Amino acid sequence: MTEGERPRFVADSMLGSLARWLRMLGYDTAYEKDMDDGALIRLASEENRRILTRDKGLAKESNAIYIEPDDLEAQLKLVGEVGELSFSEEFIRCSTCNGELKSVPKDEIGDRIPEGALANNDRFWICSACGKIYWQGSHWLGIRERFRKLNLA
Ligand SMILES: [Zn+2]
């Protein structure tokens, strides 16, 4: 599956956590805290994104998925039922800004991350948009475990 075939999303202002988790699963998910309904609908149609919303009015849009549950795992399950979510390391995105992550060699980032992380990991990624660095530490493994529980990994 190429990146272009994976569904893309835009999340409304109530769904910040869901947006971050979708990015970590490898889905291009637009989210801005103060995007109004009009801007959200426009972005969805211009960029062919499905709207994720807790707003019943907005959920009437043809490409919207109404997210009723409060609980993050229930939300992920719900999106999974509609969009057939699956984790892909290849497509993983920056949880902070939705930028694309690129693999980066250890020696290029050595001065920018904690020594412990550098010593205990071999693979690192950098966000092409905001420069945040990621590695396969315990946090990452916890996330994978959670995806596995939800049958998404
Ligand atoms: Zn970023």
- pLDDT tens across 72-110, in order? 999 998 998 876 687 787 888 999 999 999 999 988 988
Q: How confident is the model at residue 140 (pLDDT cuts 50, 70, 90)?
A: confident
Q: Nearest 5°: CA angle at 101, between 96 and 104?
A: 125
Query: Where along the chain do its domains lie?
Result: 3-87, 101-149
Q: What is the pTM of this model?
A: 0.85
CA 86, CA 70: separation in Å to the nearest integer?
A: 21
pLDDT at residue 120 in the model: 87
Q: How confident is the model at residue 147 (pLDDT cuts 50, 70, 90)?
A: confident
Share of the chain above pLDDT 70, in %: 95
Q: How confident is the prediction for the chain on average, in pLDDT?
A: 89
Q: How far is the CA of 83 from the centre of ligand 1 (A)?
A: 24
Q: How far is the CA of 56 from the centre of ligand 1 (A)?
A: 30
Burial of 86 (0-12, 13-18, 19+ CB in 10 A): middle
Q: How far is the CA of 88 from the centre of ligand 1 (A)?
A: 17
Q: How far is the CA of 93 from the centre of ligand 1 (A)?
A: 8
Q: How far is the CA of 123 from the centre of ligand 1 (A)?
A: 17
